[in-house]
């Protein structure tokens, strides 16, 4: 499927829920600029529920759910959902505390294998706030690694039986059966009361992202999926491509999308 310019998208139905990645989708070069944050409020005020779907950790998700104009947040690539309901935080985890501790212990072996081979990689600065995964930094707080070393990090995770996904800044690896899409489907059914198998309900939702770990979401929301322009940097790694792409990169592209949805 070819990726078409966002401006040519004629919505079949109004989009009422926008699932969206954060890093390099809402943010630009590590910061959320005024245009993107204003777009979050614009969507909120227009009655569009925004649900970030991110690889970022539980600690960040607590803050995002409390402080941002969002309906809820899916974190650690689908392992958890945090949401404010009547002024109180609700937390859902795919696995219980004991299981998560076991996963983290297994990841210590993977960590050792990665850094014995690729010592110039880094551990993500937000690692201590994570419940499930090991996030290996390849360009956020370390000098950017070449593509072949990023792919090798992913391969090492997989050689140890873990799931691994490449974002725009990290390779995230985890144990357990979940991903961004499985949590988004649960959010649709259990929280929004939508049927994930209904084409009409899917058309009432959209997704925006920027990197290979967003591919399951691009594939599922096939007619309402949007890549911000910097996805072009990774398109050769993405089989299920989004239907649409913005002119702007990062947060500028996100603001462009919100403008389109609220026009």
CA distance 182 to 208: 16
pLDDT tens digits for 222-254? 999 999 999 999 888 899 999 999 999 999 999
Residue 100, pLDDT above cutoff 90: yes
* 204-228: average pLDDT: 96
pLDDT tens digits for 186-202? 999 999 999 999 999 99
CA distance 161 to 103: 11
Indicate the domain borders of the chain.
4-93+180-262, 97-174
pTM, entire model: 0.94
Long-range contacts of the stretch 189-192 (C-beta < 8 A, 24+): 191/71, 191/72, 191/81, 191/83, 192/17, 192/49
Q: Which H/E stretch holds residue 58?
A: helix 58-67
Question: Which single residue is written with the structure tokens 């360009």?
Answer: 139
Q: With cut-offs at 50, 70 and 90, classify the pLDDT of residue 2.
A: confident
Maximum separation of any 2 CA atoms in the chain, in Å: 52
Q: Which CATH architecture has domain 97-174?
A: Alpha-Beta Complex (3.90)
* 36-42: average pLDDT: 98
pLDDT at 183: 98
* 206-229: average pLDDT: 96
Mean pLDDT of all residues belonging to the chain = 97
Exposed (0-12), middle (13-18) or buried (19+): which is 31, by Cβ within 10 Å?
exposed
pLDDT tens digits for 41-94? 999 999 999 999 999 999 999 999 999 999 999 999 999 999 999 999 999 999
Q: Crossing angle of helices 97-117/147-159, nearest 10°? A: 130
Token representation of residue 217: 């979401």
Residue 109: strand pairing partners: none
pLDDT tens digits for 78-89? 999 999 999 999
Percent of the chain exceeding pLDDT 90 equals 97
Residue 123: strand pairing partners: 136
Backbone phi and psi for residue 182, each to the nearest 5 degrees, phi listed first: -60, -40
pLDDT at 202: 96
pLDDT at 1: 60
* 144-153: average pLDDT: 98
CATH code reported for the domain at 4-93+180-262: 3.40.50.1000
Closest CA to 196 of 179, 217, 213: 217
CA 170 → CA 34, 160, 212, distances in Å? 25, 18, 11
């Amino acid at each position: 499927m070819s990726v078409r310019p966002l401006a040519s998208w004629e919505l079949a139905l109004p989009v009422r829920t926008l699932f969206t990645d954060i890093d390099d989708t809402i943010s630009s070069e590590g910061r959320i600029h005024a245009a993107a944050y204003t777009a979050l409020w614009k969507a909120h005020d227009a009655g569009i529920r925004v649900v970030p779907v991110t690889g970022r950790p539980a600690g960040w998700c607590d803050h995002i759910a409390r402080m941002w104009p969002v309906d809820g947040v899916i974190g650690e690539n689908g392992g958890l959902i945090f949401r404010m309901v009547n002024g109180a935080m609700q937390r859902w985890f795919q696995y219980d505390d004991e299981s998560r501790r076991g996963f983290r212990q297994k990841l210590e072996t993977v960590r050792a294998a990665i850094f014995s081979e690729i010592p110039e990689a880094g551990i993500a600065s937000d690692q201590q706030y994570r419940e499930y995964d090991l996030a290996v930094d390849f360009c956020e707080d370390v000098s950017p690694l070449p593509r072949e070393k990023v792919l090798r990090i992913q391969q090492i995770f997989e050689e140890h039986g873990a799931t691994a996904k490449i974002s725009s800044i990290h390779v995230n690896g985890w144990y357990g059966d979940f991903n961004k899409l499985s949590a988004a489907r649960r959010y649709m059914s259990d929280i929004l009361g939508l049927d994930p198998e209904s084409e009409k309900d899917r058309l009432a939702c959209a997704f925006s992202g920027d990197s290979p770990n967003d591919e399951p979401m691009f594939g599922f929301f096939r007619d309402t999926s949007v890549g911000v322009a910097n996805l072009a940097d990774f398109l050769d790694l993405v089989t299920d491509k989004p239907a649409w792409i913005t002119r702007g990169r990062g947060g500028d592209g996100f603001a462009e999308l919100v403008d389109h949805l609220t026009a």
